[in-house]
Copies of this chain bind each other. A is one copy, B any other.
Amino acid sequence: MSVRKQARTQGGRPRDSRVDEAIASAVRELLTEVGYTRLTMAEVAARAGVGKAAIYRRHATKQEMIFDVLLPDKFLAVAPDRGSLRADLAAVIAEIADTMASPPGGTVPGLLADVHADPALRDRFVERYLGFQRQTLAEILDRATARGELAVRPDPAALNALLVGPVFAWLFLLRESPEQLPTLTSALLDAALALTGAALPAPSR
């Protein structure tokens, strides 16, 4: 998935998948050790035991390299029916929170800044991250509608912002502890459900 220029059909020596892995490992190590800004291509190459050309054959720029390495290929690819809108949304929030909290240090903010600076990276981001997220939320809303759980169908983008935004803010604006994310996401879930006009968990109060 992270291949930039696929070999036409055949011919020539094939890409060595161990190189891909070595690059990915080196990137992850260096992000942890020195952070997003101080990571250099020369050091990635040296750490991976690989030439710089091998990296640039796979990734057009340093930013795309980090993006490709960090974004899991299967991000939100499946959204199995968990039986209720609340359970479906809880699963989505959990995966979003996990994806954001996992990368080391200032990686996510750094990447986001680069997404805004580089149109190519933006396209990649829309295609591989936003698209899946949007699609998954749409499916969940469809299912909730079918179940009759929704009084009103909320704007998907607003729901998306409501779910993903507070998690991002908690981690990267307020710099609060990731350990307490579950507390946040639980409150978040209540707020989101309130928005849907769905039955509030009033009985429990």
Residues of chain A having any CB pair with chain B under 8 Å: 35-38, 105-106, 109-110, 112-117, 130, 151, 154-155, 157-158, 160-162, 164-170, 172-174, 176, 183-184, 187-188, 190-192, 194-195, 197, 199-200, 202, 204-205
Contacts and interface: CB of A to CB of B under 8 A. Distances in A.
A192 B160 CA distance: 16
Contacts of A167: 161, 165
Contact of A160 (B130, B155, B160, B174): B174
Given A36-B117, A162-B166, A195 B202 contact: no
Main DSSP-derived SS at the A contact region:
helix
Nearest to A107: B116
A200 B195 contact: no
27 contacts: A35-B117, A36-B113, A36-B117, A37-B113, A37-B117, A106-B116, A110-B117, A112-B173, A113-B113, A116-B172, A130-B174, A155-B187, A157-B170, A161-B167, A161-B169, A161-B170, A162-B188, A162-B191, A164-B173, A165-B169, A165-B170, A165-B173, A168-B173, A194-B195, A197-B204, A199-B204, A202-B205
Contact of A113 (B109, B154, B160, B166): B109
